[in-house]
C-alpha cells in the first residue's frame, strides 16, 4: 500500500502538467508531413541497402567456418 502512496503525488503532478499545457502557436502544413514521411522512408531504404551490401561480411562474422582438413605430415606419408 505504501508503494502506491509514493507514486501518487508524481502521478498527480504529471497529470496537472498535461492538463494545463499552454496552447502551441504552430502550424504544420501537409507539405511538412510529406517531407517527414519521405525522410523516414529514405532512411529505411538506406539502412536496408547498407545491410544488403554488407550482408556477406555480417553473415561470415556469425557463421562458423568449416574446418579445413589438415595437411598430411611427413610421418603420415611413409
Confidence at residue 35, expressed as pLDDT on a 0 to 100 scale:
92
Q: Per-residue pLDDT tens for 32-66? A: 889 999 999 999 999 999 989 888 888 888 887 76
Indicate the average pLDDT of the chain.
80
pLDDT at residue 3 greater than cutoff 70: no
Whether the CB-CB separation of 51 and 58 falls below 8 Å is answered with yes
Cβ partners under 8 Å of residue 58, min gap 6: 51
What was the pLDDT predicted at 45?
97
Q: What is the pLDDT of residue 39?
A: 96
Q: From CA 24, how far away is CA 28, in angstroms rounded?
A: 11
pLDDT recorded at residue 48: 94
- Residue 21 near residue 14 (C-beta atoms within 8 A): no
Above pLDDT 70, what percent of the chain? Answer: 74
* Rounded distance between C-alpha atoms, residue 41 and residue 35, angstroms: 10
Amino acid at each position: 500500500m505504501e508503494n502506491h502512496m509514493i507514486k501518487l503525488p508524481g502521478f498527480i503532478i504529471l497529470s496537472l502538467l498535461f492538463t494545463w499545457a499552454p496552447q502551441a502557436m504552430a502550424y504544420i502544413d501537409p507539405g511538412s508531413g510529406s517531407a517527414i514521411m519521405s525522410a523516414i522512408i529514405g532512411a529505411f531504404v538506406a539502412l536496408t541497402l547498407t545491410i544488403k551490401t554488407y550482408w556477406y561480411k555480417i553473415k561470415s562474422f556469425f557463421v562458423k567456418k568449416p574446418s579445413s582438413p589438415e595437411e598430411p605430415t611427413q610421418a603420415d606419408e611413409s
